Amino acid sequence: MPFAVTLNLYSQRPDPRWALSPEQDAEFLDRVRSLLLRTPLKARGVAGRTGYRGFTVSSSPDSPLAGPRVLVLDGIVDPGVSAPSFFDPERGLEKWLLSTAGEALAGDVRAAVASLLERPADEAVFSFAGALALTARAGSCVPRAADAPAFVPGLWTGGDVQDKNHCYDYANNQQTGTQAVPGTTHGIQVVFTCPSIQAAAEADGLVQTPDFTRKLRSGEGWYVALALSTTGRFGPDFHWYRQDDDGCWSHKVGGDPPTNCDDSFNAITNPKHCDRGEYDTFCCFMITNGNVKIS
Partner 1 sequence: MTSVRAEAVPVEVELNLFSQRPNPTWSLAAPQAEELGRSLASLVQRPARERSPITGYRGFLIRDQPDSGSVRLIRVYGGSVEIPGRGVFLDPDRKVERWLLESAGDAVDPEMRALVLRELEARPR
Alpha-carbon dihedral 116, 120, 121, 123, rounded to 10 degrees: -100
189 binds partner 1 (CB under 8 A): no
127 binds partner 1 (CB under 8 A): yes
23 binds partner 1 (CB under 8 A): no
Q: Which residue from 73, 276, 282, 288 is in contact with partner 1, where contact means CB under 8 A? A: 276
Give the interface segment with partner 1, choosing from 31-39, 68-76, 89-97, 253-261 (CB under 8 A): 253-261
The identity of residue 25, as a single letter, is: D
User: DSSP assignment, residue 228?
Assistant: E
What is d(CA 88, CA 16) in angstroms, rounded to the nearest whole number? 23
Alpha-carbon dihedral 75, 80, 86, 89, rounded to 10 degrees: 0
Work out how close the CB of 261 gets to partner 1 at its nearest, in angstroms, rounded to a whole number.
Answer: 6
Cα 222 to Cα 186, 203, 248, 281, 286, distances in angstroms: 22, 17, 12, 22, 8
22 binds partner 1 (CB under 8 A): no
Q: How far is CA 59 from the centre of its chain?
A: 34
Scan residues 80-99 and list those touching partner 1 (CB under 8 A). Answer: none
Scan residues 155-184 and list those touching partner 1 (CB under 8 A). Answer: 163, 166-168, 179, 181
What is d(CA 85, CA 71) in angstroms, rounded to the nearest whole number? 10
Q: Which residue from 36, 154, 234, 291 is in contact with partner 1, where contact means CB under 8 A? A: 234
Please, which residue, 21 or 157, has the CB nearer to partner 1?
A: 157
User: DSSP assignment, residue 37?
Assistant: E
What is d(CA 75, CA 73) in angstroms, rounded to the nearest whole number? 5
Please, which residue, 68 or 120, has the CB nearer to partner 1?
A: 120
236 binds partner 1 (CB under 8 A): yes
239 binds partner 1 (CB under 8 A): yes
Q: Which residue from 21, 34, 99, 115 is in contact with partner 1, where contact means CB under 8 A? A: 115
Q: Are 270 and 211 in contact (CB under 8 A)?
A: no
278 binds partner 1 (CB under 8 A): yes
42: three-class secondary structure by DSSP? coil
Please name the residue ranges forming H helices in the chain: 22-33, 92-99, 107-117, 121-136, 159-163, 167-171, 194-204
Work out how close the CB of 81 gets to partner 1 at its nearest, in angstroms, rounded to a whole number.
Answer: 27
How many helices (DSSP H) and strands (DSSP E) are in the chain? Answer: 7, 13
Q: Are 225 and 270 in contact (CB under 8 A)?
A: no
Work out how close the CB of 65 gets to partner 1 at its nearest, in angstroms, rounded to a whole number.
Answer: 31
124: three-class secondary structure by DSSP? helix
107 binds partner 1 (CB under 8 A): yes
Work out how close the CB of 252 gets to partner 1 at its nearest, in angstroms, rounded to a whole number.
Answer: 8
235 binds partner 1 (CB under 8 A): yes
Work out how close the CB of 276 gets to partner 1 at its nearest, in angstroms, rounded to a whole number.
Answer: 7
147 binds partner 1 (CB under 8 A): no
Q: Which residue from 12, 50, 218, 291 is in contact with partner 1, where contact means CB under 8 A? A: 50
Please, which residue, 113 or 148, has the CB nearer to partner 1?
A: 113
User: DSSP assignment, residue 267?
Assistant: B
What is d(CA 166, CA 259) in angstroms, rounded to the nearest whole number? 12
Q: Which residues bind partner 1 (CB under 8 A)?
A: 9, 50-52, 106-109, 111-113, 115-116, 127, 163, 166-168, 179, 181, 232-240, 252-256, 259, 261-263, 265, 276-279
